[in-house]
């Protein structure tokens, strides 16, 4: 086997280890989010009934930050989206651990603010896997 192919295969094998959130655990953990977030698909079907303090989290994977129509985001999150922040597992997990610190770091602005004050210390990748699993992706 040539070396390039071997490297490519090793890379593929390494991927799942990184993206190994547990959707079932994430479903439970989402109980911590639903006071502020609902999950509603584009047809209007409610997957998880929740609060509206935060934006709908349906289809969060691959979505540009701060772009749910009609939701009044804080300026920093909108700015991050304008600068190219797209939610993937890595950014999502870092954000939910500490939204304000994440935005400060992403924008490189000590004055960055977050309207989400909740912090999920552990299990962000599980919640991400759960959101992907209910978003038909």
Half-sphere exposure of 99 (CA within 13 A, CB side): 18
Q: Is 115 in the site for ligand HEC (CB under 6 A)?
A: yes
- The single residue among 55, 102, 106, 130 that binds ligand HEC, judged by CB under 6 A, is 55
Determine how many CB atoms are found less than 10 A away from the CB of residue 39.
22
27 binding ligand HEC? (CB under 6 A): no
Per-residue binding letters, 62-101, with ligand HEC (x by CB under 6 A) = ---xx-x----xx--x---------x----x--xx-----
Rounded (5°) CA angle 72-73-74: 125
137 vs 129: CA distance, rounded Å: 11
Binding site residues, ligand HEC, CB under 6 A: 32-33, 35-37, 53-55, 57, 60, 65-66, 68, 73-74, 77, 87, 92, 95-96, 114-116, 118, 120, 127
């Amino acid at each position: 086997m040539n070396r390039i192919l071997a490297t490519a295969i090793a890379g593929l094998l390494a991927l799942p280890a990184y993206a190994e959130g547990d959707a079932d655990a994430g479903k439970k953990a989402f109980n911590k989010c639903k006071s502020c977030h609902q999950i509603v698909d584009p047809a209007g079907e409610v997957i998880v009934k929740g609060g509206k303090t935060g934006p709908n989290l349906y289809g969060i994977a691959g979505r540009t930050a701060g772009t749910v129509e009609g939701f009044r985001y804080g300026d920093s999150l909108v700015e991050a989206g304008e600068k190219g922040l797209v939610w993937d597992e890595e950014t999502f997990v870092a954000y939910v651990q500490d939204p304000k610190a994440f935005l400060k770091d992403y924008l490189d602005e000590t004055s960055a603010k977050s309207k989400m004050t909740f912090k999920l210390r552990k299990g962000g990748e599980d919640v991400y896997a759960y959101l992907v699993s209910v978003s038909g992706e």
